[in-house]
Structure 1
Amino acid sequence: MLTTLRLLWSPLDTVFKFVYYFLPSWKPGEVDIEEMNSSSSSSARMWLLDMKFSPHPPNVEVRIAPPGVSQIIGCSGQHFIGLFNKSTVLMYPYIPGDRVGIEVEAGLLNLVGSHPWIIASRGLNEHGLVLQYARNGNVCDRFTSGHDISFDQRLRWCRQAAEAVKYIHQKRVIHCDINVRDLLRDDKFDVLLADFQGVLKWGSRESSKAYMPRVHGDILNAKTDIFALGSLFYHIMMGHEPFPELNDWEHDEEI
């Protein structure tokens, strides 16, 4: 009975400590991350970003960030992407401790090694995976922004993507989800292939519009990557994905 009560009390104790720590000095508005990180009370310390309040109805968005992350700039799968410093970002899981996907990606990037058109890994730390910061977003963002993209630029992105995919296949690595959202852009607006899925451990697959028809949908190999690469070429050269009138979620079977 005593053991059961202790198990029930443990999460409540954490909540009470959090309320006790923050309530006396809480004011609606922005949270000073540096001030919270420098606090002497480590037992109730949390890193909160982007707290938003709306009176009708109440809407509170709380994002938890590890030490050193100054801003959440995006997400990838089940992970946040946080700005770490001027040259790196930290990819960390929505659920603290859920590191399977991060460790798979770190292992694949270690196998791949260095390449000019592939995102660079700076290694794992206790909170997540440190990666090269691609400050110019991804290729998809460029198309949706409405800016004109020259024919030569489109060809260059296609060539760089093809070279990146050829290189990872030489390293016996399958990407599993090649698309324009996973083509980031570096300081020179060249592409960086990112978001390696890990077919053997992660069970991922391409989106419907990049999916090569096959008998067994869970089989992924160099051919399925190359088929997805062809769909990526189409998107880059035409400025939109195949079957733009169809939605991946609603028309999966039709596609």
Structure 2
Amino acid sequence: MPGTPQPDPVDPAPPVNKVETATIKQKGELVAVGATSFVELLPDGDILKRPFPSNIHGNDRRREITTEAYVYDRLGPHRYLLQKKKWDPETCSLTLEYMPNGTLADYLAAHPDVSLERRKQWAVEAAGCVQLLHLALIYHCDIGPQNFLLDDRLGLKIIDFSGSSTDGSPTGIEPGFRYHDELSRGPSFKLDIFSLGSTMYFIMAGKHPFAELEDDEVIARFRARDFPDLTDVPLASVIQKCWSREVESVDDVINLLTV
């Protein structure tokens, strides 16, 4: 499989134009639509991820998919990653293996009775996914339950590296999962760890932090260090340390989870 060249540095992307539209020539069943791309299930059982064919932000969308392909090449095969099947640089089309159990977010919504043992294992695996990235100097920048898939044994795999930062590169993607306003100024391991804490909260509590509030109010609460009540939430102390920035690395998080 040919390697993917490292994408050019990213200028801050302009806000997505909500009237941005284009005709999508489908090759399979449409299974997901994101901010920058769409995902299809192909007849052969693989997943095809392509950028929106837009004339407005087309270059940005293609750069983001190229970043994702590059991250897969840089990390290589790993149990926390999908298998990269094919990369077409001409169309910026990325073919990946399919995970029929879907996202962690959707699975927990459909199976609220998941055991505490399984939830704790997911917390460890989520931290392991982030550790894999950070050891390679990659910051995900959008960690959340929507960006973890479940394999046939319900093991976690981290996905969606379109907005990731490599070697400190800027990214035009804004984090989409309940982040601390002070951490939103650029890619960093602190942003990933904070979002990991929110992901672990979702795993344990079955809901987003301050799920009943609007995003602006959530940011205001976090800015004031007013965090959700963790009474009776498993792994509360680890989650709190992630939110309060009391850990120096994801290695510390894993140590806390596995003592």
Q: Which residue of 2 aligns with 1:31?
A: none
Instruction: Give yes or no for the alignment of 1:181 onto 2:113.
Output: no
Which stretch has the larger CA shift, 136-145 or 94-103? 94-103
Q: CA deviation at 1:229?
A: 0.5
What CA deviation, in whole Å up to 9, does each residue of 1:146-179 have, x standing for no partner?
A: 5411111111111111111111111111100000
Q: CA deviation at 1:122?
A: 2.2
Q: Secondary structure at the match of 1:164?
A: helix
Instruction: Give yes or no for the alignment of 1:64 onto 2:27.
Output: no
After superposition, residues 66-81 of structure 1 pair within 5 angstroms as 66=26, 69-81=27-39
Q: Which residue of 2 aligns with 1:153?
A: 118
So what's the TM-score if we normalise by structure 2?
Answer: 0.66
After superposition, residues 222-241 of structure 1 pair within 5 angstroms as 222-241=189-208
CA RMSD of aligned residues (A): 2.3
Q: Secondary structure at the match of 1:81?
A: strand
| Distance in 2 between residues matched to 1:63 and 1:83, nearest whole Å | 18
Q: CA deviation at 1:205?
A: 3.1
Instruction: Give yes or no for the alignment of 1:129 onto 2:87.
Output: no
So what's the TM-score if we normalise by structure 1?
Answer: 0.67
What CA deviation, in whole Å up to 9, does each residue of 1:224-254 have, x standing for no partner?
A: 1111101111110111111111122x53543
Instruction: Give yes or no for the alignment of 1:142 onto 2:111.
Output: no
After superposition, residues 177-216 of structure 1 pair within 5 angstroms as 177-196=142-161, 197-199=163-165, 200-207=169-176, 209=178, 211-214=179-182
The higher-RCO structure (CA 8 Å, 6+ apart) is 2
Q: CA deviation at 1:85?
A: 4.1
Q: 1:79 to 1:208 in 2, by over 3 A?
A: closer
Q: CA deviation at 1:75?
A: 1.6
> Contact 1:138–1:180 at 8 Å: present in 2 too?
yes
Instruction: Give yes or no for the alignment of 1:251 onto 2:211.
Output: no
Q: CA deviation at 1:117?
A: 1.4
Q: What is the identity, as a one-letter code, of the residue corresponding to 2:49?
A: M
Identity among equivalent pairs (%): 28
> Contact 2:103–2:149 at 8 Å: present in 1 too?
yes
Correspondence for 1:113 among 51, 72, 76: 76
> Contact 2:129–2:158 at 8 Å: present in 1 too?
yes
> Contact 1:106–1:123 at 8 Å: present in 2 too?
no
Q: Which residue of 2 aligns with 1:56?
A: none
Structure 1 runs, 4 residues or longer, greater than 6 Å off: none
Q: Which residue of 2 aligns with 1:165?
A: 130
Q: CA deviation at 1:91?
A: 0.4
Q: Which residue of 2 aligns with 1:89?
A: 47
| Distance in 2 between residues matched to 1:206 and 1:71, nearest whole Å | 27
Q: CA deviation at 1:72?
A: 0.9
Q: 1:86 to 1:150 in 2, by over 3 A?
A: farther
What CA deviation, in whole Å up to 9, does each residue of 1:54-89 have, x standing for no partner?
A: xxxxxxx996235xx221111232211011244421
| Distance in 2 between residues matched to 1:183 and 1:241, nearest whole Å | 15
Q: 1:93 to 1:172 in 2, by over 3 A?
A: same
Q: CA deviation at 1:195?
A: 0.6
| Distance in 2 between residues matched to 1:243 and 1:252, nearest whole Å | 6
The count of residues paired between Structure 1 and Structure 2 equals 190
Q: What is the identity, as a one-letter code, of the residue corresponding to 2:194?
A: F
Which stretch has the larger CA shift, 165-174 or 80-89? 80-89
> Contact 1:115–1:164 at 8 Å: present in 2 too?
no
